[in-house]
Amino acid sequence: NYFIPNTFSPNNDGSNDVFFPRGSQLNNVQSMRVFNRWGQMIFERKNFPANQPSFGWDGRVDGKPVDVDTYLFIVEVICENGQVIPIKGNVTLIR
Protein backbone atom coordinates (compact mmCIF):
# COMPACT_ATOMS: atom_id res chain seq x y z
CA ASN A 1 0.00 0.00 0.00
CA TYR A 2 1.49 3.31 -1.05
CA PHE A 3 0.47 6.94 -1.19
CA ILE A 4 2.08 9.66 -3.29
CA PRO A 5 0.53 13.08 -2.66
CA ASN A 6 -0.61 15.14 -5.63
CA THR A 7 0.00 18.50 -3.93
CA PHE A 8 2.39 19.91 -1.37
CA SER A 9 3.12 23.34 0.02
CA PRO A 10 6.74 24.00 0.99
CA ASN A 11 6.03 27.17 2.96
CA ASN A 12 7.62 26.10 6.27
CA ASP A 13 4.33 25.93 8.18
CA GLY A 14 5.09 22.36 9.32
CA SER A 15 2.35 20.78 7.20
CA ASN A 16 2.95 19.20 3.77
CA ASP A 17 6.29 20.99 3.38
CA VAL A 18 8.02 18.02 1.70
CA PHE A 19 7.05 15.74 -1.20
CA PHE A 20 7.88 12.11 -0.39
CA PRO A 21 6.42 8.58 -0.86
CA ARG A 22 4.47 7.01 1.99
CA GLY A 23 2.91 3.66 2.66
CA SER A 24 2.86 0.44 4.57
CA GLN A 25 4.81 -2.70 3.74
CA LEU A 26 7.32 -0.66 1.74
CA ASN A 27 10.88 -1.76 2.23
CA ASN A 28 12.66 1.07 0.48
CA VAL A 29 12.44 3.65 -2.29
CA GLN A 30 14.71 2.64 -5.13
CA SER A 31 14.52 6.05 -6.80
CA MET A 32 12.51 9.25 -6.87
CA ARG A 33 12.87 11.76 -9.68
CA VAL A 34 11.02 15.03 -10.24
CA PHE A 35 10.89 16.84 -13.59
CA ASN A 36 9.74 20.29 -14.63
CA ARG A 37 7.32 20.93 -17.48
CA TRP A 38 10.19 20.93 -20.01
CA GLY A 39 11.33 17.47 -18.97
CA GLN A 40 14.41 18.60 -17.07
CA MET A 41 15.14 16.52 -13.99
CA ILE A 42 15.21 18.90 -11.03
CA PHE A 43 15.39 16.41 -8.16
CA GLU A 44 16.71 12.87 -7.76
CA ARG A 45 17.28 10.65 -4.78
CA LYS A 46 18.07 6.93 -4.72
CA ASN A 47 17.92 4.12 -2.17
CA PHE A 48 16.22 5.68 0.84
CA PRO A 49 13.57 4.58 3.33
CA ALA A 50 9.91 5.32 2.62
CA ASN A 51 7.88 7.45 5.03
CA GLN A 52 10.83 9.73 5.76
CA PRO A 53 10.25 13.42 4.93
CA SER A 54 13.95 14.17 5.41
CA PHE A 55 14.67 12.29 2.16
CA GLY A 56 11.95 14.01 0.10
CA TRP A 57 11.90 17.05 -2.16
CA ASP A 58 11.51 20.38 -0.39
CA GLY A 59 10.47 22.37 -3.48
CA ARG A 60 13.93 23.81 -4.07
CA VAL A 61 16.46 23.53 -6.86
CA ASP A 62 20.03 24.58 -6.12
CA GLY A 63 18.81 26.00 -2.82
CA LYS A 64 16.23 28.30 -4.41
CA PRO A 65 12.44 27.81 -4.25
CA VAL A 66 10.90 26.75 -7.55
CA ASP A 67 7.81 28.36 -9.04
CA VAL A 68 4.28 27.34 -8.18
CA ASP A 69 3.56 24.77 -10.89
CA THR A 70 2.80 21.14 -11.63
CA TYR A 71 5.76 18.76 -11.79
CA LEU A 72 6.09 15.19 -13.08
CA PHE A 73 7.46 12.48 -10.81
CA ILE A 74 8.66 8.92 -11.24
CA VAL A 75 9.03 6.88 -8.05
CA GLU A 76 10.11 3.24 -7.78
CA VAL A 77 9.20 1.67 -4.45
CA ILE A 78 10.38 -1.73 -3.24
CA CYS A 79 7.81 -3.75 -1.31
CA GLU A 80 8.62 -6.06 1.58
CA ASN A 81 8.39 -9.02 -0.82
CA GLY A 82 11.07 -7.45 -3.07
CA GLN A 83 8.71 -6.40 -5.86
CA VAL A 84 9.59 -3.07 -7.48
CA ILE A 85 6.57 -0.90 -8.28
CA PRO A 86 7.06 2.08 -10.62
CA ILE A 87 4.70 4.98 -9.93
CA LYS A 88 4.34 7.92 -12.31
CA GLY A 89 2.23 11.02 -11.85
CA ASN A 90 2.26 14.71 -11.18
CA VAL A 91 2.45 16.84 -8.10
CA THR A 92 1.34 20.44 -7.80
CA LEU A 93 3.48 22.74 -5.73
CA ILE A 94 1.48 25.50 -4.01
CA ARG A 95 2.62 28.12 -1.52
DSSP symbols for 34-92: EE-TTS-EEEEEEEE-TT-GGGSB-SEETTEEPPSEEEEEEEEEEETTS-EEEEEEEEE
pLDDT of residue 27: 87
Residue 14 confidence (pLDDT) above 90: no
Q: Is the pLDDT of residue 29 over 90?
A: yes
Q: Give pTM, 2 decimals.
A: 0.92
